[in-house]
Amino acid sequence: MTPQAALRAMDRAVEANIDPMGMVTPLLHAQLAWLSHPQELSEALSGFANDLLQLQWHAWRRALGMPSADVERPHPDDTRFADPVWQETVGWDILKESYLLLTHHLQDRLYETPGMSSKDRRRAAFWWRKWLNAVAPTNFFWSNPVAIRKAFESRGESLFQGLKIFLDDLEAGNVRMTGPDDFSVGKNLATTPGKVVFRNRLLEVIHYAPTTATVYQTPIVIVTPWINKFYILDLNPQKSLVGFLLDQGYSVFITSWKNPTAEMRDVAFDDYLSEGIERIVATARNISGARQVHAVGYCIGGAALAAYMAWANCRNAAMPVASVTLLASLVDYHKPGDIEVFVDEGSLKWLSRSMAEKGFLDGREMAAAFRLLRSNSLIWHYVVHGYLYGEKPAPFDVLYWNMDATRMPAKMHQWYLREFYLNNNLIRKDALTLAGERIDLALITQPLYSVAAKDDHIAPWRSVFRINNYVSSSTRQVLTSSGHILGIVNPPVAPPRREYWAGTALRHDSSESWHERAEHHQGSWWTDWMAWLQPQSGRKVKAGAIDSKEYPALVDAPGCYVMEP
């Protein structure tokens, strides 16, 4: 069989659901590509053999008690080999370095695979990395010296506790990252006082009680992602973005989305605009009496808000939004990060068939995919510390929220993956028709504040930055430290190591040219945001009622939808 015929056979395997998520196929593609380029393969093997000889010499020197520098070291963010035993004991040091040498060589070579596109190289490297992470010596009792030591020191108690944790996780059907009883929404999460003032089939609108005697004329509307529940922005009083905005003198409204069931299979992306964002904007304007609102969108909520802004600028002579703030939100999906490995034509067809049967994408499936993106820290860390060390995971509100997964309506999610991820149509003029309007991001002229996170693996910061190349707004761009969650949930009382870069972004800027002239600051970007937003918020007025005749209070915050499993 020729390599081309083999590739066609593997593509048919994807179609036949033998490899629906494309895990095996890119690895076989890479192997065939190397076999088809013997000269490059010979050079790669020669380099690997040379490093093996260096490792052998290093092992002999260590065995003879002679000083010797490591041949291969873990990456700075790899904590699997942090215990001193991996460095101090010769046998464990050589096992560690052998594993790292093989891992790093394979990864580097896959990124250089001849005859493959850059996207296919990234996919092959991603899946190899997942397999190599799974077989790390730290993941098995007899090749993990820390696990062996703990078992001896505890006289087997660590293994007994680990077995209990394993059986509990097996019953739950999940490797749990925090205890299910450590937190409770409405009790020690999402506790900011407020009322649900609007409800329809898609969302509840929560209006929070003011904490100041006067508030700015222009209220803030927050569009949260429906991939997760809204309370990531209201975790607790110390981490709550909602609470921070209230204390700054704003009237705050937020979306709490319905967790879809099979009956909502035909809910479309258009509905999230017309029955979601449009409704919360109207609710906030009615209750506050304001002509306009400040709109904030996070993650997919930000992508939807950008689409809404293009849509609203098409149809509204009196634009209801004064400014836009986007938090870790993609509009250009050309390079969406590691998540692209889950989105291609084959995997989308498989997902579409699965969603057609159930009417939704199960939240556990999505959560598992996101955890795979950072498998060492989000999966294997808990396997090792739980099952091998017998350590229960510590209470952590962010991880509890992360496990509180939601479903996606079949029609919406299929359309979103195809039109945004596969076709990248959000940035293309007139390529999308939403709720009756052909949209164009260039129609967005309202002031824009865009926040990207330096270590974000879901919305890579250089891709987030590219919104500046499509809108007509005056834009302040911010790059914050940390990742997709902690880069945004970043209160001023955060650890002093937090930092950010901020500055005006021009339409012709690249991420590199902007970053060269951006100002560096220590601390939280929240204070910079307030300095940008407050001058656009009008004068202070007496804080008004939390509801109105047209929008009466229905229940106390955090509402009903957030409680639905």
Q: Classify strands 293-298 and 321-327 as parallel, antiparallel or unpaired.
A: parallel
**Nearest in space to 296 (alpha carbons), one of 286, 305, 283:** 305
353 φ, ψ to 5°? -65, -40
How many Å apart are CA 227 and CA 366, to the nearest integer?
9
CA distance 513 to 505: 9
Q: Are 322 and 294 in contact (CB under 8 A)?
A: yes
In Å, what is the CA distance from 481 to each residue of 244, 451, 523?
19, 11, 9
Q: Which two tokens stand for residue 407?
A: 């479903």
Q: Which tokens belong to 218? A: 């222009």
Cis amide leading into 395 (omega within 30)? no
Cβ atoms of residues 454 and 487 within 8 Å: yes
Which residues have CB under 8 Å from 369's CB, separation 6+? 339, 342
Report in angstroms the alpha-carbon separations of 37 from 28, 31, 102, 220. 14, 10, 21, 58
Rounded CA separation 295/91 (Å)? 58
Nearest to 141 by CA among 380, 388, 379: 388
**How far apart are alpha carbons 142 and 72 in whole angstroms?**
22
Helix, strand, coil distribution of the chain in percent, nearest 5: 50, 15, 40
Instruction: State how far the alpha carbon of 444 is from the alpha carbons of 40, 284, 304, 391, in Å.
Output: 49, 21, 13, 51
**Dist CA 239 CA 498 (whole Å):** 14
Burial of residue 538 (number of CB atoms within 10 Å: 0-12, 13-18, 19+): middle
Decide: helix, strand or coil at residue 514. Answer: helix
C-alpha 152 chain-centroid distance: 39
**Could you tell me the sign of the dihedral formed by the alpha carbons of 421, 455, 248, 529, in that order?**
negative
CB 450 within 8 A of CB 476: yes
Give me the phi and psi of 536, to 5 degrees please.
-100, 10
Q: Would you name the residues annotated as active-site residues?
A: 299
Residue found under tokens 């999460």: 189
φ, ψ for residue 553, nearest 5 deg: -65, 130
Dihedral of alpha carbons 488, 494, 498, 501, sign:
positive
Structure-block tokens of residue 492: 């001023």
